[in-house]
């Protein structure tokens, strides 16, 4: 049973509630969900009727939880659970990639692979120290020695470490050496082990049993949660079927099923699922497309010599190719593969509690810019809305916010020139970029009949982007507004049930409104790229792009001379745009994005040539 508590519940009422439940032989678990305090009552004597609880002081609502799993059910907690492992969050907008060998074989092997997978975007390292092998004669793992190696990997690389725990006797060692404990498929229903990890402080990756139903799997997660540890990540790793071409059958349909049934995050392990190297990448790509929060991939520097699971282990370069594909796929489903994840989180964590960890964006909460800020920073920084782009630049410049997130171009409508001009005017740095898919939704008050909609609010470009869909609303008045999120806020504030807005599903959620139609844009390839600005660089790990502005002399071939430098040094130019120079009519600046770190030592010659061939040159950012 789920009880919603009154905002004004007194500590005495709250204590009385607990004792009443305890007297009934039940226990309570309190959480905050969508801003409300709710408790879950569990135990064999939970009463069936909400009325039995509604009379209790401090209780405003009661509803039964219909599923056998309670604490981990979506009915109890409607918000997604986000699990923090060091600076990494599983269950947020960023795909978490866990990679490493099946087993830790030696210090050298683990360290070599860890450095490789980190280079290609993994943020957690996996490696077994206690291996549950089918044969007693196979390699059983390095045990405590393996755990010590994992701890050293964490220390040297900054990657959190994940390893399997096979017995309650290992609990103390796991607490000491690792960041996440894995319960293997063979132990999914080892209830004593589940009770043990339920009392531990580390997050748990709970693998699905070889032949377990989703229901059984969730009940195992419930065991862990009932023990007090709700940081459970569900890992689909393939189930036994009659099919011999793959080691197991990867049940990707479990992802949407679980998303409905539970708030826990999901990690997909395509390595154990397929058992064959060449099948791993396609299934990993599909997993992300199906909504997985994380991936766990076996990678080995010398798979032929691996002591376990060599045939399914990717070579590091194959793993690198896979993460590049994930980078492209993730935004389609509203997520990101962030190659700078660790460095960025480290910098933000290092800002200290006294510093403002804030990022300014334009518009209202729920704006696409807000989404972009969350996609880039996760929950590490607070996103704050501002009214104009100039407000953002000024706030970053005077230090009242640490970062700004500004749109610079859209795949359908082109550049946002105002921001290019502001980049020219202010002396700030672009320290990162993030691209998100723009998916428009038609939003109304709950239960409004679309036939009753007579006015639709949206920014002018949104109407253009949704032209086909809007044909069915030919009778409605189209009211252009400044930003999508303000349209959504307006219909919320006005209470007007004849109005609809075009905006993000996130805005509908924030303002408690209803999405009438999803993805109503004509062209689904609608992406906006945002630049992240700050006063100074903050130790980015991998610089792969440079944005610069330059002006050339007004003589024939001047632009060509600059282009020639890029061509001769094989530097890929991904954007080139001209803008009038402020205050100098008919004179132009060029904005260029290059796929290179122009300040790296190997390119000093390029910089020298650029300076020689341009009248003005400024580096806007490296990221």
Binding positions for ligand PEP, rule: CB under 6 A = 102, 128, 132, 184-186, 207, 237, 272
Residue 274: CB minimum distance to ligand PEP, A: 12
Residue 251: CB minimum distance to ligand PEP, A: 13
Cβ proximity of 213 and 236 under 8 Å: no
Question: Per the structure block, which two tokens stand in for 620?
Answer: 């806007």
119 binds, among Mn ion, ligand PEP, none (CB under 5 to 8 A by kind): none
Residue 109: CB minimum distance to ligand PEP, A: 15
Cβ proximity of 548 and 592 under 8 Å: yes
Strand partners, 546: 594, 622
Rounded Cα–Cα distance for residues 565 and 606 (Å): 7
Number of residues in contact with Mn ion under rule CB under 5 A: 2
Residue nearest to ligand PEP (CB): 184
237 binds, among ligand PEP, Mn ion, none (CB under 5 to 8 A by kind): ligand PEP
207 binds, among ligand PEP, Mn ion, none (CB under 5 to 8 A by kind): ligand PEP
Rounded Cα–Cα distance for residues 562 and 565 (Å): 5
Residue 202: CB minimum distance to ligand PEP, A: 16
In the complex with ligand PEP, which residue's Cβ is closer, 98 or 428?
A: 98
214 binds Mn ion (CB under 5 A): no
Q: How far is CA 191 from CA 177, 187, 335, in A?
A: 23, 8, 34
Rounded Cα–Cα distance for residues 251 and 253 (Å): 5
In the complex with ligand PEP, which residue's Cβ is closer, 272 or 429?
A: 272
Residue with tokens 């497309």: 289
In the complex with ligand PEP, which residue's Cβ is closer, 128 or 265?
A: 128
The interface region with Mn ion, picked from 62-70, 107-115, 307-315, 490-498 by CB under 5 A, is 307-315
Cβ proximity of 457 and 481 under 8 Å: yes
569 binds, among ligand PEP, Mn ion, none (CB under 5 to 8 A by kind): none
In the complex with Mn ion, which residue's Cβ is closer, 186 or 357?
A: 186
Cβ proximity of 415 and 400 under 8 Å: no
In the complex with Mn ion, which residue's Cβ is closer, 312 or 526?
A: 312
Greatest CA separation for the chain: 90
160 binds, among ligand PEP, Mn ion, none (CB under 5 to 8 A by kind): none
Q: Which of 102, 124, 165, 367 binds Mn ion (CB under 5 A)?
A: 102
Rounded Cα–Cα distance for residues 89 and 524 (Å): 28
In the complex with ligand PEP, which residue's Cβ is closer, 300 or 622?
A: 300
Residue 239: CB minimum distance to Mn ion, A: 16
185 binds, among Mn ion, ligand PEP, none (CB under 5 to 8 A by kind): ligand PEP
Residue 316: CB minimum distance to ligand PEP, A: 18
Q: How far is C-alpha 604 from the chain's CA centre?
A: 36
Residue 437: CB minimum distance to ligand PEP, A: 32
In the complex with ligand PEP, which residue's Cβ is closer, 296 or 434?
A: 296
Q: How far is C-alpha 142 from the chain's CA centre?
A: 33
335 binds, among Mn ion, ligand PEP, none (CB under 5 to 8 A by kind): none
Rounded Cα–Cα distance for residues 559 and 613 (Å): 9
Which residue stretches of 408-501 are H helix? 417-425, 460-465, 467-470, 484-494
439 binds, among ligand PEP, Mn ion, none (CB under 5 to 8 A by kind): none
- How many residues are recorded in the chain? 623
309 binds Mn ion (CB under 5 A): yes
CA gyration radius for the chain?
Answer: 27
Rounded Cα–Cα distance for residues 41 and 5 (Å): 13
Residue nearest to Mn ion (CB): 102
In the complex with ligand PEP, which residue's Cβ is closer, 2 or 272?
A: 272
Cβ proximity of 178 and 205 under 8 Å: no
Residue 287: CB minimum distance to ligand PEP, A: 15
In the complex with Mn ion, which residue's Cβ is closer, 113 or 423?
A: 113
Question: Per the structure block, which two tokens stand in for 3?
Answer: 């009880």
Question: Per the structure block, which two tokens stand in for 40?
Answer: 């879950």
Residue 142: CB minimum distance to ligand PEP, A: 14
Residue with tokens 């920014």: 459
Residue 102: CB minimum distance to ligand PEP, A: 5
Question: Per the structure block, which two tokens stand in for 549?
Answer: 């502005």
147 binds Mn ion (CB under 5 A): no
In the complex with ligand PEP, which residue's Cβ is closer, 185 or 453?
A: 185
Which 3 state secondary structure label does DSSP give 221? helix
116 binds Mn ion (CB under 5 A): no
Q: Indicate the Cα dihedral angle 143, 147, 153, 154, nearest 10°.
A: 160
Residue 213: CB minimum distance to Mn ion, A: 23
Residue with tokens 């049940």: 251
Residues that bind Mn ion (CB under 5 A): 102, 309
């Amino acid at each position: 049973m789920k009880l919603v508590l009154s905002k004004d519940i007194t500590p005495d009422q709250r204590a009385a509630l607990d004792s009443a439940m305890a007297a009934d032989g039940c226990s309570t678990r309190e959480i905050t969900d969508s801003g409300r305090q709710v408790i879950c009552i569990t135990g064999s004597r939970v009463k069936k009727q909400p009325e039995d609880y509604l009379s209790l002081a401090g209780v405003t609502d009661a509803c039964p939880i219909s599923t056998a799993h309670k604490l981990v059910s979506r009915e109890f907690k409607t918000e997604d659970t986000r699990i923090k492992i060091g600076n990494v969050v599983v269950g947020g907008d960023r795909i978490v990639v866990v990679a490493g060998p099946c087993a830790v074989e030696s210090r050298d092997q683990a360290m070599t692979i860890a450095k490789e997978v980190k280079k290609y975007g993994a943020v957690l390292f996996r490696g077994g120290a206690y291996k549950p092998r089918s044969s007693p004669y196979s390699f059983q793992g390095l045990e405590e020695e393996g755990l010590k190696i994992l701890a050293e990997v964490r220390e040297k690389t900054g990657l959190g470490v994940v390893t399997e725990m096979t017995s309650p006797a290992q609990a103390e060692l796991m607490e000491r050496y690792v960041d996440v404990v894995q319960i293997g498929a063979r132990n999914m229903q080892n209830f004593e082990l589940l009770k043990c990890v339920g009392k531990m402080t580390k997050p748990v990756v709970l693998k699905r049993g070889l032949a377990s139903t989703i229901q059984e799997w969730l009940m195992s997660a419930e065991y862990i949660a009932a023990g007090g540890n709700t940081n459970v990540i569900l890992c689909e790793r393939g189930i036994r079927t009659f099919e011999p071409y793959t080691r197991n059958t990867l049940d990707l349909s479990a992802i949407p099923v679980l998303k409905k049934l539970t708030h826990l995050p999901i990690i997909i392990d395509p390595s154990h699922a397929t058992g064959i190297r060449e099948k791993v990448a396609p299934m990993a790509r599909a997993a992300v497309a199906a909504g997985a929060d994380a991936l766990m991939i076996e990678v080995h520097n010398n798979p032929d010599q691996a002591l376990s699971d060599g045939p399914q282990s990717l070579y590091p370069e194959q793993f690198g190719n896979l993460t590049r594909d994930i980078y492209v796929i993730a935004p389609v489903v509203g997520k990101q593969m962030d190659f700078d994840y660790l460095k960025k989180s480290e910098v933000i964590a290092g800002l200290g509690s006294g510093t403002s960890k804030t990022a300014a964006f334009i518009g209202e909460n729920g704006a696409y810019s807000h989404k972009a800020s969350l996609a880039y920073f996760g929950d590490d920084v607070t996103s704050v809305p501002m009214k104009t782009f100039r407000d953002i630049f000024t706030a970053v410049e005077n230090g009242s916010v640490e970062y700004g997130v500004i749109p610079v171009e859209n795949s359908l409508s082109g550049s946002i020139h105002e921001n290019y001009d502001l980049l020219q005017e202010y002396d700030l740095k672009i320290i990162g970029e993030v691209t998100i898919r723009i998916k428009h939704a038609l939003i109304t008050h709950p239960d409004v009949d679309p036939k009753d909609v007579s006015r639709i609010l949206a920014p002018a470009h949104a109407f253009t982007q949704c032209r086909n869909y809007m044909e069915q609303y030919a009778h409605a008045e189209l009211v252009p507004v400044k930003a999508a999120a303000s349209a959504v806020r307006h219909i919320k504030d006005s209470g007007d049930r004849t109005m609809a807005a075009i905006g993000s599903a996130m805005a509908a959620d924030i303002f408690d409104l209803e999405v009438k139609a999803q993805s109503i844009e004509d062209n689904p390839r609608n992406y906006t790229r945002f630049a992240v600005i700050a006063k100074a660089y903050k130790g980015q790990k991998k610089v792969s792009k440079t944005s610069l502005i330059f002006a050339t002399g007004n003589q024939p071939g001047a632009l060509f001379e600059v282009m020639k430098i890029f061509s001769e040094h094989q530097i890929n130019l991904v954007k080139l745009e001209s803008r009038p120079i402020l205050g100098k009519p008919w004179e132009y600046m060029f904005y260029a994005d290059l796929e290179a770190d122009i300040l790296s030592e190997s390119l000093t010659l390029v910089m020298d040539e650029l300076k020689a061939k341009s009248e003005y040159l400024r580096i806007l950012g490296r990221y």
